[in-house]
Every structure is written in C-alpha cells, then in structure tokens.
Homo-oligomer: A and B are copies of this chain.
C-alpha cells in the first residue's frame, strides 16, 4: 500500500507561469470566479460542509496584498496578507484539531498557504540591508526597495528517522511531549550535509548510535512554520544508548508487536504514537509494512 503522508495531496495547480506574468495575473484577479481563502489569522475557518471556506476575491481588504495560491479547475485562488497581524497572529498548535477534521487535500492546500503567509509576516524586511521589502511574483517572493535583493519563501529540510537494530526501532520523547508519547528522532539538515549524513549525525548526537546504511522512505511538508520532513530508516551497529539530555527526556527500542499495538491504539500499548498527520506515523506504518 502507498503511504499517504500528512499535508500532501493538494489538487490545486500552482500555476507557476502566472506568477511573473503581470497581464495574466491581473486577468486572474479580475476573473469574476476568483476566490479568497477564508482564514482567521493563520487558522482555517471550515464551512458547514467541513471543507476549507472561500469567499469572492472582490471581498478582499484593499489594504491586503494577495498571494496567488493557484488554479482550481481554472478558477484563480488567492489568500490575503494582512501585515497588521504579522506580529500578533496566533501560532498555537491548537489548529491541529481543526486540521484533523479537514479532507487531506484541503489540509495540504492550507498547509502550503499558511507556510507562505507566515513567511511574509516574518520577512517584511531585507535581511541583506534592513530596508522594507515588497511582495513580488504574486506572493512567491519579496524584493527590497533599497538594494533590490530578492528573497524567496524558506523551506527547511528536516530528517526524521528510525534507527533499526535487530528487528527493533528507536523512538524518543522530548520533555514537552504529552505523557507516554514517543516519536521518531529528528533534526534540521545543516548546510554542507547530504540527507544521509544528517541522519547519521543526528542519531549519534541525540542517542549515541552509529548508523551505516540509510534508506529514504517517504516525505511530507510540515507547515509549522515551513519544514520538509524527510523520513528514513537507518541501520545502526548496536543498541546501547547515550542520550543528549537537552534534546531527549527518554528513548526506547520497540519491536513490531509494540508498534502495531501503539498504532492500533490498544489499551495496553507501550506508548502513544504520533498522529497520522505526522511523518513519524507514516514512517512507522511503512516500517511495519516492509
């Protein structure tokens, strides 16, 4: 079975060719069918049908900049950038409860939109010279009015991995996790590293295990604020652990039966697993299915 990672499966055409075409973009904005994603701050406000809600683009606040999300069956779809909210907008993870009820394709569309909107809110100034920047490329970049530097939305690659040893995999918990919750270890890919090198470094830093073969499994975006989660399984040469106490409160090796019980939410499961929207969940399912 194909894995179905969280925040994937958006059906919108991103319409890259429109972004730098001023005439086509103006026509898209003037299209009477054009619509605007309904948000409260950075959060979706689903309609009565449980889907993302939209309103006519004509209802946009004239003070807002517009981000072109793409075309839905030819209909131009936008989101508003309300800069006045940039510093005060709610970034709490409570939004996950709303997202869990959205269809996968809506959660995926929302995730991409949220990442770009929040990138604007945190990048109103030029990192190169400090002057103010203005939106360009239909919201897929900002340009400095003073030094002309162009800035583009960030995507931060993160490796998330299961160390594997003799039929068991390694899970860990951070101090802030809910009780009994364990997940895969993870960390940002740094400049100068391949995916495989980042996996080996993180496993050694956080748990003291040495990885050999690293196998890529699956990926997904994570819009808090804008990560690309890259899921791997890494064979390690032993199960002795040396935990980095600043990163991990605890870690443990789990076998197939324990992972099955946790994913099946059995009452006597050894741990609470990550939810389906998290790549660690998909990674555990893929490991069981192999």
Contacts and interface: CB of A to CB of B under 8 A. Distances in A.
A196 interface: yes
A17 B244 CA distance: 9
Contacts of A201: 14, 16
A122 interface: yes
A244 B16 CA distance: 11
A21 to B, nearest CB: 10
A115 interface: yes
B130 A130 contact: yes
A134 to B, nearest CB: 14
Q: Which of A113, A193, A218 has the most CB of B within 10 A?
A: A193
Nearest to A119: B191
A42 to B, nearest CB: 13
A228 interface: yes
Given A8-B197, A17-B244, A219-B196, A191 B112 contact: yes
Interface residues of A, number: 57
A10 interface: yes
Interface string A150-161: 011111110000
A129 interface: yes
A226 interface: yes
A222 to B, nearest CB: 10
A174 B184 CA distance: 40
B130 A122 contact: no
B17 A191 contact: no
A189 B155 contact: yes
Given A17-B244, A127-B122, A226 B194 contact: no
24 contacts: A8-B193, A16-B201, A17-B205, A108-B192, A111-B192, A112-B190, A112-B192, A116-B191, A122-B149, A124-B128, A125-B130, A152-B188, A153-B190, A153-B191, A154-B191, A157-B157, A157-B228, A189-B228, A191-B223, A192-B221, A192-B223, A194-B218, A194-B219, A194-B221
